Structure 1
Amino acid sequence: MIRFALRLPEDLHARLTAQAAADRRSINSEILHLLEVALATTSSGTPDRPGSDQAHPAPPRGKPDSSPA
């Protein structure tokens, strides 16, 4: 299993914590579950955004990662 650090806004962390508690999961397990559901949805042919062009994905959002490569 790969480990990496993830920076989250405080409000998103609070939402994840609440959802994990409601689902009786750890935060890590909740994140894995949400990613699996999201990736299953996109791999079934459903575009991630209405009208999105899969041949030309949207550029990354937010600040560029400043961590070393």
Structure 2
Amino acid sequence: MDDEKRITLRLPSDLHAWLAARAKSARRSLNSEILHRLESERDAAVADAAR
């Protein structure tokens, strides 16, 4: 990422715990897990729009 932005993100505690567990199992930081999921969803949406 060339240009990064910082945000404050509020999550319900159950969603945070779920994301943290997924991140740990994937050997990623929580931040990297959130980015991975957002980027995957964006890529899928772009692919759907192109069809």
> TM-score category by the smaller chain?
0.7 to 0.9
RMSD between aligned residues:
0.9
Q: How many residues align?
A: 46
The runs of at least 4 consecutive aligned structure 1 residues that moved more than 2 Å come to none
TM-score, normalization by structure 1: 0.64
Gaps of 5+ in 1: 47-69
Q: Kindly indicate which of the two structures has a greater share of residues assigned to helix.
A: 2
Gaps of 5+ in 2: none
Pair 1:21-2:18 in alignment: no
Larger radius of gyration: 1
TM-score, normalization by structure 2: 0.86
The structure with higher relative contact order (CA 8 Å, sep 6+) is 2
